[in-house]
C-alpha cells in the first residue's frame, strides 16, 4: 500500500498539478481508508466495495464529531481520484466510488469587510520594522492575493516600476496582477529594507524559503484586533478586495481575471455579497424600517 500511496501522490503532484497541501490531504485520506479496509481483512484496493467505502465514511462522521459536508466531500474526492488513477493502470478494475453520492455543500457567502475597515487594517504603521507585515497586508487586500500566493511571491516576480506582479496561483497557473498606484511607494519602502539575497518578496525566517502562511494569518489577525477589535483572516481581505471592486464598477470578468478564478460562477458569489450589503444598509437607513 505504501508503494501505491507514493505513486498516487506523485500522480497528484506531477500530472494533476495539485498543491502540496492537497497532495498531502488526499494521501492521508486514502491511507485512512486503507487502514479501515485492512482491519476488515481487505487490504487490497481491488477488494474494496462501495459498501466498505460508505462504512468508512460513516465511521469518520461518527468518530470525528467535527466532520462536516466539506470534509466528507474532500475525502470522497480523494478516493475518486485514487481509483481513477488505479483504473488507468488496470481498466478492468471495479471503481467502488462510482455509486457514492456527494454531500450537499453549504454555499456560505464570503464575509467582506467594509472599505473603511479594510483601509484601517492596512494603514501604514509608525514603526518601520513592521514594513514586512504592512507589505503582506497590501498584497492581500491591494492585489487580492490568496495567502499562499502572497507567501510564495518571488522578489523577481514583483515589478514596481511597471506596477505588475507575476502570481502563481492554483494548479501553478500564472497570471499578471496590476499593482495599484497608491501602494507602490509603501512596497518600494519595504523592498529597499528587505535583505537583497532573499528569494521571496515577503521574507520569513529563511531567505531561501517562503514565509509560512500561518505567519501571514497571524499578521492579519493581529492587525484586525488592533484596528477593529475583532478577528479577521487573510481570505477576508481577498473577499473584500473583490467585493469593493464590484461595488466600484469593475465587471465580473475583470474580477475573475484578477482573482485567478477558473470559473466565473465562483466570482459571481460576490454579486450576492454586494446585494446582501445593500440590503443591510437599506434596513438600517430607510425611514420605513
Query: Which residues are catalytically annotated?
Result: 146, 170, 235, 238, 261, 270
CB-CB contact of 75 with 60 (8 Å): yes
CA pair distance 128, 130, nearest whole angstrom: 5
What lies within 8 Å, CB to CB, of 97 at 6+ separation is 50, 53, 76, 79, 80, 83
Could you give the 3-state DSSP secondary structure of residue 145? coil
CA distances from 272 to 30, 110, 112, 240, 249 (A): 36, 9, 11, 13, 15
Task: Locate 43 and state its grid cell.
Answer: 487490504
What lies within 8 Å, CB to CB, of 275 at 6+ separation is none
The C-alpha angle with vertex 153 and arms to 151 and 157, in degrees rounded to 5, equals 170
CA pair distance 282, 289, nearest whole angstrom: 8
Q: Among positive and negative, which fits the CA dihedral 219, 209, 23, 65? A: negative
CA distances from 42 to 9, 75, 246 (A): 22, 19, 53
Amino acid at each position: 500500500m505504501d508503494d501505491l500511496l507514493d505513486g498516487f501522490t506523485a500522480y497528484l503532484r506531477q500530472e494533476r498539478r495539485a498543491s502540496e497541501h492537497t497532495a498531502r490531504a488526499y494521501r492521508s485520506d486514502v491511507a485512512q481508508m486503507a487502514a479501515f479496509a485492512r482491519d476488515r481483512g481487505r487490504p487490497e484496493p481491488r477488494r474494496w466495495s462501495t459498501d466498505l467505502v460508505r462504512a468508512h465514511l460513516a465511521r469518520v462522521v461518527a468518530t470525528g464529531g467535527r466532520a462536516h459536508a466539506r470534509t466528507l466531500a474532500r475525502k470522497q474526492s480523494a478516493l475518486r481520484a485514487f481509483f481513477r488513477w488505479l483504473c488507468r493502470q488496470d481498466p478492468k478494475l471495479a471503481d467502488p466510488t462510482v455509486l457514492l453520492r456527494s454531500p450537499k455543500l453549504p454555499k456560505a457567502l464570503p464575509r467582506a469587510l467594509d472599505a473603511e475597515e479594510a483601509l484601517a487594517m492596512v494603514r501604514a504603521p509608525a514603526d518601520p520594522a513592521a514594513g514586512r507585515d504592512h507589505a503582506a497586508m497590501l498584497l492581500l487586500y491591494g492585489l487580492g492575493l490568496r495567502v499562499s500566493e502572497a507567501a510564495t511571491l518571488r522578489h523577481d516576480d514583483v515589478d514596481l516600476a511597471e506596477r505588475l506582479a507575476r502570481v502563481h496561483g492554483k494548479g501553478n497557473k500564472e497570471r499578471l496582477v496590476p499593482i495599484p498606484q497608491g501602494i507602490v511607494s509603501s512596497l518600494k519602502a519595504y523592498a529597499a529594507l528587505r535583505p537583497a539575497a532573499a528569494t521571496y518578496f515577503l521574507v520569513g525566517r529563511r531567505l531561501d524559503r517562503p514565509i509560512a502562511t500561518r505567519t501571514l494569518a497571524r499578521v492579519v489577525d493581529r492587525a484586525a484586533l488592533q484596528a477593529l477589535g475583532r478577528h479577521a483572516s487573510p481570505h477576508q481581505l481577498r473577499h473584500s478586495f473583490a467585493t469593493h471592486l464590484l461595488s466600484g464598477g469593475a465587471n465580473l470578468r475583470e474580477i475573475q481575471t484578477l482573482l485567478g478564478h477558473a470559473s466565473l460562477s465562483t466570482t459571481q458569489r460576490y454579486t450576492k455579497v454586494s446585494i446582501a450589503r445593500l440590503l443591510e444598509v437599506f434596513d438600517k437607513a430607510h425611514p420605513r424600517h
